[in-house]
Amino acid sequence: MIEPADATGRLREIYDGIIEKRGKLADVHKIQSLRPESIVKHMDLYMEIMFTKSELSRAEREMMAVIVSVNNECEYCIMHHCEALNHYWKDRERLALLVSDYRIVGLNERELSLCNYAETLTGYPEKLKDDSLIYNLKVLGLTDNGILDATLVIAYFNFVNRIVIALGLATSESERQGYIF
């Protein structure tokens, strides 16, 4: 992992751009430093999935990110996306309940269904052969676009969780604060 102080050339440009846009550089970016362009592609994908216009709110997307990360036991992503979700919820006790068991948080029916979809697609994708989860999302008002967006969020966080876990990225206190949401 190449630290910002040691970065040169294109990697330095990428690091500086992320710091300028987001306020700091996350370790999840630094672990890709041996392949600088993967950082750019990763950020582009992240921004597309998490920040572009969608019928899913930002809070719903962050909530699904937390559920995927909990199911994958990815402490790094749980911490980051609980912080992001708290920007919207402003309730740490509710976040703790979400992490322990999303069914007891008092989520509305749509949120509960999105969490169930995230949990199932993450841990039991074979169960999606039964269309009931997708049907339930449609009954709750999600269009095919919204269901695609939910699926992309879930798939993206499964991807990132695996990178983080495989490369042994640990949660540090310095990573807990300071992001611009």
pLDDT by residue (tens digit) across 46-78? 999 999 999 999 999 999 999 999 999 999 999
Rounded distance between C-alpha atoms, residue 82 and residue 64, angstroms: 10
- Is residue 89 within 8 A of residue 98, CB to CB? The reply is no
Tell me whether residue 137 is in a domain: yes
Q: Which domain holds residue 161?
A: 58-166
Tell me whether residue 114 is in a domain: yes
Same domain? For 47 and 62 the reply is no
Rounded distance between C-alpha atoms, residue 164 and residue 102, angstroms: 23
Rounded distance between C-alpha atoms, residue 35 and residue 99, angstroms: 32
Same domain? For 120 and 135 the reply is yes
- The CATH number covering residue 78 comes to 1.20.1290.10
Same domain? For 18 and 92 the reply is no
Same domain? For 34 and 74 the reply is no
Tens of pLDDT along the chain (181 residues) come to 999 999 999 999 999 999 999 888 999 999 999 999 999 999 999 999 999 999 999 999 999 999 999 999 999 999 999 999 999 999 999 999 999 999 999 999 999 999 999 999 999 999 888 888 999 999 999 999 999 999 999 999 999 999 999 999 987 666 555 443 3
Q: What is the pTM of this model?
A: 0.91
Same domain? For 111 and 148 the reply is yes
Rounded distance between C-alpha atoms, residue 179 and residue 18, angstroms: 11
Give 41-54 as a DSSP string: HHHHHHHHHHHS--
Tell me whether residue 147 is in a domain: yes
Give 114-135 as a DSSP string: HHHHHHHHHH-GGGGGSTHHHH
Same domain? For 76 and 41 the reply is no
Tell me whether residue 140 is in a domain: yes
Tell me whether residue 175 is in a domain: no
pLDDT at 56: 98
Q: Which residue type is seen at 3?
A: E
Domain end marker among 36, 51, 66: 51
Q: 106-125: per-residue pLDDT in tens?
A: 999 999 999 999 999 999 99
- Is residue 134 within 8 A of residue 128, CB to CB? The reply is yes
Same domain? For 30 and 82 the reply is no
Same domain? For 142 and 83 the reply is yes
Tell me whether residue 172 is in a domain: no
Q: Structural domain tally of the chain?
A: 2
